[in-house]
A and B are shown apart, each in its own frame.
Chain A
């Protein structure tokens, strides 16, 4: 790896100021479990000129519950979330998603902010330049998406546009089902956006001088049942072929509210809102779960090699809902 500048940020303001100065030629580093791989493989169109270490910013790793919400600092590690008492009790779907990431060693280092901001896993995009030259694609700023005509078995089955790489984040799926918001800081202030709005086909919603500082999950008075299911070809160190996070509220046997989020099917987590609506007022049983699963994938437009993902995702939705029915 060629040398570049390494800087330790001492505050969020300082990190944002550095982003302002370097633009997209600076990369923020937290756990490093994605960034180091990105740098070693060397596939980015513009080599970064600066690495900004965020771990030197004090007070950005926390899980804090108040009356209305749970707030999670961007530097909170996945192992912390997987073990957090409040997360396991009230936001089980997030604890399960965090536990499903990578390996114990990765979860010890990787942060929730980094899990949300990690780059996509598309094998054309991540193909190392040194092995036979760069593979250009729209995500790198030149040409179209190579997956459309190529091997697209792991790519989008919905919402792809220009780029068909899926969102690799597991926690994003759980956070979408929990209706969480992401707080972004810039040199001139902060803004907060819904998790589902954070992701887009070509890049996330971060401006060049912005960084993720906090995740906020609303607390609900009524307890819910929550399930996260992730389908992978092997158990550890693997990204989802499809995943589902479900949060269901019941009154007696009837569903009074439901949130279902699909993962690894689209550039971001997708809320299956029509499937959610279909469950309202009904018992969650085999019949309604199968209907909801059909509805959740009704908008799927698979590519040439990934129709199987539609079936996998459908089964996951059904299983997630029925797991809650037990």
Chain B
């Protein structure tokens, strides 16, 4: 068996060499990826709401797949490539991703707490299926909950970045 004492994690293109252990400055064996991203790497764009895999607020991309960072152990992410909401804007110009801009243009949030997770889910959906139907968008976002009922605006915002003739 292998008892990892270090892992390498790429987050938004930046490589992090992370020590595993029980000390406060090390990542413990039960630390979730959400906790590592927020509390160690200070990438607080990723949110934690239910912390139980049911709300989608903590959605990030792991090797391009939308996953729940609150249900993922950091120690099991060795060699993985993580993208968070902070990684969507252009690293040089800081310009927002067109999907992020669409959320602003459509006021697709109220309190905004669930928005990073929704955008990451939508981004993963669009990467796999660049021309989804409205139904497919709803299905793709079915794992993200919004207590403010922003869903209608969210679907409009996502559909607005789908090239015409889509579906």
Size of the B side of the interface (Cβ < 8 Å), in residues, is: 34
When distances are taken between beta carbons in the complex, the residues of chain B under 8 Å from A105 are: 53, 56, 59, 66-68, 121, 143
Partner of B73, one of A10, A14, A51: A51
Closest to B65 in A: A108
**Contacting chain A: which of B22-30, B86-94, B105-113?**
B22-30
For A17, list chain B residues within 8 Å (CB).
Answer: 1
Which one, A31-39, A131-139, A156-164, is touching chain B?
Answer: A31-39
Taken together as a complex, chains A and B put the C-alpha atoms of A272 and B148 apart, in Å, by 44
* Sample of 8 more A-B contacts, CB < 8 Å, known A109-B65, A109-B68: A1-B30, A3-B28, A4-B29, A14-B1, A32-B71, A32-B73, A104-B121, A105-B66
On chain A, the residues within 8 Å of B20 by CB distance are 6
Tell me the bound Cα distance from A39 to B51 in angstroms.
12
Binary contact readout A89-105 vs B (1 if CB under 8 angstroms, 0 otherwise): 00000000000001111
Cross-chain contact B1 with A10 (CB below 8 angstroms) = yes
- Residues A93-137 near B (CB distance < 8 A): 102-106, 108-109
CA distance A106 to B59 in the complex (A): 10
B17 within 8 Å of A by Cβ?
no
What is the distance, in angstroms, from A108's C-beta to the closest C-beta of chain B? Answer: 5
Within 8 A of A (CB), among B55-70: 56, 59, 65-68, 70
B67 touches A53 (CB 8 A): no
8 Å CB contact of B76 from A2, A14, A29, A79: A29
Contact B30 A3 (CB under 8 A): yes
Q: How far is the CA of A236 from the CA of B54 in the complex (A)?
A: 9
B96 within 8 A of A: no
A235 within 8 A of partner (CB)? yes
CA distance A14 to B76 in the complex (A): 17
Q: Is B52 an interface residue (CB 8 A)?
A: yes
Q: Is B4 among interface residues, defined by CB-CB distance under 8 A?
A: yes
Within 8 A of B (CB), among A46-98: 51-53, 55-56, 79
**B12 at the A/B interface (Cβ < 8 Å)?**
no
Interface: A224 (CB within 8 A): no
Can you give 11 contacting A-B residue pairs, CB < 8 Å? Answer: A6-B29, A17-B1, A29-B73, A37-B53, A103-B56, A104-B142, A105-B59, A106-B53, A108-B66, A109-B71, A237-B142
Which residues from B are CB-within-8-Å of A196?
none
Provide the residues of chain A in CB contact with B75, threshold 8 Å: 6, 53
A29-B73, A105-B56 given; A8·B2 CB < 8 A: yes
Closest CB in chain B relative to A110 CB, distance in Å: 9
Chain A residues within an 8 Å CB radius of B144: 103
State A316–B53 Cα separation when bound (angstroms). Answer: 28
B66 touches A104 (CB 8 A): yes
Structural contact, A108 and B30, CB atoms closer than 8 A = no
Known contacts A109-B71, A237-B54: does B22 contact A3 (CB below 8 Å)? yes
From residue 91 to 133 of chain B, which have CB atoms closer than 8 A to chain A?
A: 121, 124-125
Q: Looking at the complex, which one of A6, A7, A237 makes contact with B143 (CB distance below 8 Å)? A: A237
A233 at the interface (CB under 8 A from B): no
Q: How far does the alpha carbon of A273 sit from the alpha carbon of B139 in the complex, in Å?
A: 35
**A18: nearest residue on chain B (CB-CB)?**
B1
**Contact residues in B for A2 (Cβ distance below 8 Å):** 30
* Beta-carbon contact of B4 and A236 below 8 Å: no
**When the two chains form their complex, are residues A236 and B1 in contact, meaning their CB atoms are under 8 A apart?**
no
Instruction: Please state if A7 and B30 are interface contacts (CB–CB under 8 Å).
Output: no
Q: B145's closest neighbor in chain A, by CB?
A: A237
A196 to chain B, nearest CB (A): 28
Which of the residues A18, A51, A108 comes within 8 Å of B29, measured between beta carbons?
A51
Known: A1-B30, A36-B32, A36-B71. A103 touches B76 (CB 8 A): no
What 0/1 pattern do residues 1 to 29 of A give for CB contact below 8 A with B?
11111111110001001100000000001
Please report the C-alpha to C-alpha distance between residue A1 and residue B144 in the assembled complex, in whole angstroms.
Answer: 25
A6 and B4 form a contact (CB under 8 A): yes
The answer to the question of A222 belonging to the interface, with a C-beta cut-off of 8 Å to chain B, is no
Cβ of A102: which chain B residues have Cβ within 8 Å of it?
53, 143
Residue from A3, A18, A79 with most neighbouring chain B CB atoms (10 Å): A3
Query: Is residue B44 contacting chain A, with contact meaning CB distance below 8 A?
Result: no
Chain B residue nearest in CB terms to A31: B71
**Contacting residues of chain A (196-234) with chain B, CB-CB under 8 angstroms:** none
**B147 interface hit (Cβ, 8 Å):** no
Q: Which residue of A lies closest to B76 (CB)?
A: A53
